[in-house]
Structure 1
Amino acid sequence: MFQSRKIMVLLLICLSFSACMPWAAEWSKSSSKTRQTRGVYHRIKSGETLWSIARAYQASVQDLAEINDISDPNLIEVDDVIFIPDANQVIDNIIPSARRSEVPVRMDKKQESSPVAKPPEGDVNTSQVSVKEEPPPSTEKTEQTVKQKTGGERKQPIQFDRKRFIWPVTGKVISRFGIQPNGMYYNGVTIAAMEGTPVLAAAGGTVIFSASLKDYGETMIIKHEDSYMTVYTNLGCRIREADDKVRKGDKIALLGKSEKKGEGYLCFEIRHKNKARNPLFFLP
């Protein structure tokens, strides 16, 4: 009932801003509020790496890195615990499972441009494939398509894109993307700063939503090129309206308040094709 009322409010607001409807309605279904998500916790054992774990669970290394806020996979240690989204059960014997999941396929540019793999609904491997050990004959796109070999293991580098966006507000990150200590899942980051601090457009684009939302406060959504969008909630005062064109660094709002007098915070999301991405992998 609560979720239905929230979506109804959003849809009514969007009637006034038709350009925002496809984006804002989809965003509301997986908003920046913490939520429960399906998956398992895997405790790392000797000899395991993020890459072998990803192959065993038929998951994307990039997804595991972002969800668990792992900027350098080489620094994970034995007994560290990572969250595997959408997995149904823990795999105890990672290395054999990872090897069984390897089925040689031809590597082409289209595959590498969309590296995110869907985890299985059960402990099955039949729908997943990975690249063959040898690099493809073509050398035209070797840097982008050939996975690195280190110690006999193919390691696809974690991707960062820290030139695309800027920090929307200067402050301290008090909540990070992904799994929280209480087991809940968070789609963005929370940045603490003084109430009234200017909030900037993280990149140039078009404002597709600018209104107040129940449970989120003053909210703005900006659509950017290459199917990206950014979401800003808990704003104190919105300066830009729907359909406004903004440039990177333009002031779009003032920061809203928190429970402590004089202090405020911003809930900020980066989405690509409406999939929540870890902002710390994009911000400089």
Structure 2
Amino acid sequence: MRRLIPLIEILFFSALGGCVSTPSTHQPQALLQPLPHTPTTEGIYHKVEKGQTLWGISKLYSIELDTLAKINHIRDVRDIEIGQLLFIPRYAKKDPNQKCLSEEFIWPLKGKVVSSFGQKNESVLNKGIDIHPTSTEICASRSGQVVFYAPNFRRFGMTIILDHKDGFFTVYSGLDEALVKLGDNVSRGTKIANMRHSSTAQNNSLLHFEIRKETVPLNPYFFLSD
């Protein structure tokens, strides 16, 4: 436990901000149709299907997430809709062996997002999202191992961090009861904690959730489908 503290101090300094069903397993379609904007290079078009995320699509075509977002002028990933066409540059090749949806992140909790990534709370930048729960069950957003647990981690309260073994980590903070222990391996969708539900979105009834690539906090909306 003690040797993990430096790692967590690097990974987790952020402002405080349900389990969903497994997305569709249909493979995406590539359509040769014009985009709303004129691309600057040759390529194909991908039609967004139910349950797909920008991150999953980027993995399918082996293209960097940021590159895919920039090419398609995506600033707010919540604007991605089923049926939307995304331009895939010619140099990005679809991997037929890539299981696009098997490694997708899922929402850890049913509830309403009350503070988004990049939003300032009391002059502190939010490096995740804060969710006011409508249920009490917290689930693993993706399969991984519990590499950190603290019943009262500084001002963040009870905290669990999962290592997904590919450079990604997820952080769950503001919990009331942990159902896992350090070193446990959990599958996506496994119940890992409980938290109380209140009718108002007070700080003591919010789940703070982060997705990080190594030490870099990323916007969870890139990874979570509606």
Place the TM-score, normalised by the shorter chain, in its bin. 0.5 to 0.7
Q: Structure 1 CA distance, aligned partners of 2:129 and 2:187? A: 22
Query: SS of 2:182's equivalent?
Result: coil
Q: Structure 2 CA distance, aligned partners of 1:237 and 1:162? A: 28
What are structure 2's unaligned runs of at least 5 residues? 18-36, 38-65, 81-88, 94-99
Q: How far did 1:274 drift? A: 1.5
- Tell me, yes or no, if the aligned pair for 1:171 and 1:191 is still in contact at 8 Å: yes
Q: Structure 1 CA distance, aligned partners of 2:6 and 2:122? A: 32
Aligned counterpart, 1:219: 159
- Tell me, yes or no, if the aligned pair for 2:15 and 2:124 is still in contact at 8 Å: no
Q: How far did 1:264 drift? A: 2.8
Aligned counterpart, 1:253: 193
Instruction: Tell me which moved more, 239-248 or 255-264.
Output: 255-264
Alignment of structure 1 residues 98-177 onto 2, 5 Å: 142-143=91-92, 164-177=104-117
Q: How far did 1:63 drift? A: 8.8
In the alignment of these two chains, the number of paired residues is: 164
The answer on 1:208 being equivalent to 2:192 is: no
Moved over 3 A (4+): 60-65, 68-73, 160-163, 179-184, 256-263
Percent identical pairs in the alignment equals 31
Alignment of structure 1 residues 72-91 onto 2, 5 Å: none
Query: SS of 1:26's equivalent?
Result: helix
Aligned counterpart, 1:26: 10
| Cα 1:256/1:231, change in 2 over 3 Å | farther
- Tell me, yes or no, if the aligned pair for 2:146 and 2:160 is still in contact at 8 Å: yes
| Cα 1:161/1:72, change in 2 over 3 Å | farther
Q: Structure 2 CA distance, aligned partners of 1:181 and 1:22? A: 25
Aligned counterpart, 2:138: 199
Q: How far did 1:194 drift? A: 4.1
Between structures 1 and 2, the one with greater helix share:
1
Query: SS of 1:226's equivalent?
Result: coil
Query: SS of 1:143's equivalent?
Result: coil
Aligned counterpart, 1:235: 175
Q: How far did 1:283 drift? A: 0.8
What are structure 1's unaligned runs of at least 5 residues? 1-13, 35-48, 50-59, 74-134, 136-140, 145-159
| Cα 1:185/1:61, change in 2 over 3 Å | farther
C-alpha RMSD over aligned residues: 3.9
- Tell me, yes or no, if the aligned pair for 1:237 and 1:255 is still in contact at 8 Å: yes
Task: Answer 1 or 2: higher relative contact order, Cα 8 Å, separation at least 6.
Answer: 2
- Tell me, yes or no, if the aligned pair for 1:223 and 1:230 is still in contact at 8 Å: yes
Query: SS of 2:104's equivalent?
Result: coil
